[in-house]
Amino acid sequence: METDNNTRLEPGKSSPLGAYWDGNGVNFSLAAPSAKAVTLCLFDEIGQEELAQLSLNPSEEGIWSGYLPGGAPGLVYGYRVSGVYSPEKGQRFNDRKVLLDPYARLIVGRYEGQDEFSDASDTDTGAMALKGRVIHEIYDWGDDVPPHVPSGQMILYELHLKGFTKRHPGIPEEIRGTYAALAEPVILDYLEKLGITSVELLPVFAMADEARLTREGRVNYWGYNTIGFFAPENRYWSGRPGTTPVSEFRDMVRALHSRKIEVILDVVYNHTAEGNEDGPTLSFKGIDNAMYYHLRPDNPACYENWSGCGNSLNLGHPHVLKMVMDSLRYWVTEMHVDGFRFDLAPTLAREKREYSINAGFFRAIAGDPVLSRVKLIAEPWDLGPEGYQLGGFPFGWFEWNDKFRDCMRSFWLHQGSSLTEFAQRFMGSQDFFGARERLPAASINYVTSHDGFTMKDLVSYNHKHNEANGENNRDGSDHNLSWNCGEEGEAVLREVILRREKLKRSLLVTLILSQGTPMLVAGDEFGQTQNGNNNPYCQDNELTWLNWEQADTGLQDFVAQLISLRKTHPALGQNRWFTSEHSDFVMPDAGIRWLSPNGGDQLGRQWSNKRLFSMGILIRANDGSHPCLILLNASVQPVIFRLPPGRWKVLSDSSSTFENGANLEFQALLPGHTIMLAVP
């Protein structure tokens, strides 16, 4: 819009926060209780030239507002916030910095790591700062209906929006790696054939790269560095005429819903991209630093760093909690997503320092008519005091279960977990999730995730190989419980190759057939490798982009078959607890029996045998359908199993599928028949 010296703001409304067009003008509203003055800055279309500075009016609630008659969608704006600059008291006001509206729906510009963004600098950042663009997009959702997948039937699939499609040969090159690519029929067909019910997207909120990475020519590929909680990340937009990042995101959601696939967003409300006290002033830090962040009580110039990323967002403040709740509701009501995975979730429940299951965040979610009905998944740890909270989240929440991950890696790759530990994890980790009326589905079971080795690398490397990250291989976890099976990296020896294939399949069978909610990582089903890099957060290249042309289609079919077995056999994936007595792990419930290899006897005292790594699991469903028998052997010797009474068919075999293909011939096995389980 054109402005002149006579442009004035009329009194505005303090609610809703952000910039809203009402058909005649735009209302601007910003929460900044400690500010002395707030100035609205209007810019040209590309955000370079500052056209006007207009003063907002304060209200008793600490909200500043103003109404711009004639303002319209497309207007680019930012704020200058004035107040005391006193870092030692927690305040970092500097009106030389143009600040991004926390409620901006679309962001103009990109942070390039410039030193001028330091709050101690006198340099004006007007031309280079991130700004908001006023939008008003009408979208026809048509017959879009949320899939509402029952919690006990979810098959989660974690993927990076760009990396998943960037190298896919069946997608037009100009849209690969974008929201539009994930809506392509070839992708929808693939997910549907695999059996996925719910995709969990790594962060897609507007983000900013760390200055260090920018200087080194890298980016924050994973995206756990949010700067805009209401705006989709622009770099995932195709730029096609007639579309916007918002419309293209909505098209993607609608397309996935058309195949009954849920969209769950990995969200980062525990910290922002502004980093620690030496980080840039892009938005929150300059608007009201002491409100938005947890500051150290002994030194308010420094931040509590429970996230490990420099700062921790303060949801104990009503304005900050409201922003998070408004953001979540926006993505559900306006963008139709089906749920959220909360990164470092304990931080969200620290109103001061201590984690509390009664925190305002949990109470607000539980009482919200919109958010209480969507999928809520916690990463149940952070770096704060008592930061490990597996099983400590409210009723209705799911949680990533790293105990399952470590147990299954140890059991199959090192014979390190006992049968008792294996059984606990296989049956849904009742020791963690049985309280507060939570069911097995609350446990998100996984063997790999974006953070760590891929499934192929897990059986191909003894050590991480992160040199490409530029941190001298110091980054990433050293506790991987991996095994290279005899050769580090790409294998040459046939026995090593075969052992790896068996182990991958054994891990996948355990994951998909365990009680709880299984989560696959995109690419694990066809042998994706990251060449031993277990922390490729800054690798936006072919190291992390899925290599579809070299996919192991046999493994792919094997995984699809396992998912189909879980879905079609009621005995598998039951969302109920089986009765247990933890002292010797006898389970008298008629729905399950734990069998020793020598016949139909229950394991009994053999639970305490630390050298036993073989057993059978006989599971029955409540509906009287066919029982399922799972036989496993993680020992170093083949084991002969005597089958229990019944007529059995082999539906899946992790030791032979990779050689014989996915089309197994079903074999009837008579009562008392024996079967040999090979060495994995």
| pLDDT tens-place string over residues 52-72 | 999 999 988 899 999 999 999
Q: What value does the mean pLDDT of the chain take?
A: 93
**Torsion sign (Cα): 339, 344, 346, 349:** negative
- E strand segments, 191-330: 198-201, 205-207, 226-232, 262-267, 295-296, 299-303
Q: In the chain, what is the straight-line distance between the N-terminal and C-terminal CA atoms, in Å?
A: 68
Q: pLDDT confidence of 6, banded at 50, 70, 90?
A: low
Higher pLDDT, residue 491 or 661: 491
User: 21 to each of 240, 314, 317, how far by Cα in Å?
Assistant: 25, 29, 28
CB 296 within 8 A of CB 335: no
The residues annotated with a catalytic role in the active site are: 343, 379
DSSP 3-state assignment of 128? Answer: coil
Greatest extent of the chain over all pairs of C-alpha atoms, in Å? 94
SS3 258: helix
Tell me the mean pLDDT in the region 583-590.
Answer: 48
Q: Tell whether omega for the bond before 16 is within 30 degrees of 0, i.e. cis.
A: yes
pLDDT digits (tens, 9 = 90+) for 171-221: 999 999 999 999 999 999 999 999 999 999 999 999 999 999 999 999 999
Can you say whether the dihedral through the CA atoms of 641, 644, 649, 651 is positive or negative? Answer: negative
Q: What is the pTM of this model?
A: 0.96
Query: b or e along 342-366 (b: 16 or more beta carbons within 10 Å of the residue's beta carbon)?
Result: bbbbbbbbbbeeebeeebbbbebbe
Q: Residues near 162 by Cβ (< 8 Å), separated by ≥ 6? A: 177, 178, 221, 235, 236, 540, 545
Classified as helix, coil or strand, 456 is helix
624-639: string of b/e by CB count within 10 Å (b at 16+)?
Answer: eeebbbbbbbbbeeeb
d(CA 447, CA 620): 25
Residue 666 has pLDDT above 80, yes or no: no
**Residues found in the chain:** 680
Q: Out of 114-123, 478-487, 581-590, which region has the weakest mean confidence (pLDDT)? A: 581-590
- The residue among 10, 22, 16 whose CA lies nearest residue 68 is 10
Residue 29 forms beta bridges with which residues? 18, 65
Confidence bin at 602 (pLDDT 50/70/90): low
HSE-CB for 547 with a 13 A CA cutoff: 12
CA distances from 659 to 393, 497, 507, 549, 656 (A): 44, 12, 17, 20, 5
CA 116: distance to chain centroid?
33
Cβ-proximal residues to 555 (8 Å cutoff; 6+ apart), any chain: 501, 504, 505, 525, 526, 527, 658
DSSP line for 300-357: EEEE--TTSSS--B-TTSHHHHHHHHHHHHHHHHTT---EEEETTGGGGGBSSSSB-T
Distance CA 425, CA 512 (A): 12
**DSSP assignment letter at 575:** -
* Amino acid at residue number 124: D
- Cα separation values, 145 from 149, 199, 258, 260, 339, Å: 12, 16, 8, 9, 14
Tell me the pLDDT band of 584, cut-offs 50, 70 and 90: very low
On whether the CB atoms of residues 503 and 456 are closer than 8 A, the answer is no
602 secondary structure, DSSP code: B
Which has the higher per-residue pLDDT, 220 or 675?
220
Closest CA to 342 of 370, 317, 310, 374: 374
Place of tokens 């962060």: 203
Higher-confidence position of 601 and 282 = 282
Whether 582 shows a pLDDT value over 70: the answer reads no
pLDDT band of 600, cuts 50, 70, 90: low
668 band by pLDDT with thresholds 50, 70 and 90 = low
Backbone φ, ψ for residue 657 (5° rounding): -60, -40
Give the pLDDT mean for 620-641.
Answer: 89
Closest CA to 677 of 645, 651, 641: 641
pLDDT digits (tens, 9 = 90+) for 14-30: 999 999 999 999 999 99
Q: How much is the average pLDDT of 576-604?
A: 67
For residue 113, which of 206, 219, 41, 203 has the smallest C-alpha distance?
Answer: 219
Burial classification of residue 432, based on how many CB atoms lie within 10 Å of its CB (0-12 exposed, 13-18 middle, 19 or more buried)? buried
Alpha-carbon distances, residue 178 vs 79, 109, 161, 454, 536 (angstroms) = 30, 19, 7, 23, 20
| Tokens representing residue 225 in the block | 């560095």
CB 597 within 8 A of CB 606: no
Q: In what order do the strands lie in the sheet with 76-82?
A: 50-55, 37-43, 76-82, 131-133, 107-108
Write out the DSSP string of 370-387.
TGGGSEEEE--B-SSTT-
Residue with tokens 């933890």, as numbered in its chain: 582
Share of the chain above pLDDT 90, in %: 84
Least confident of 265-274, 403-412, 563-572, 632-641: 632-641
Tens-digit pLDDT profile for residues 371-381: 999 999 999 99
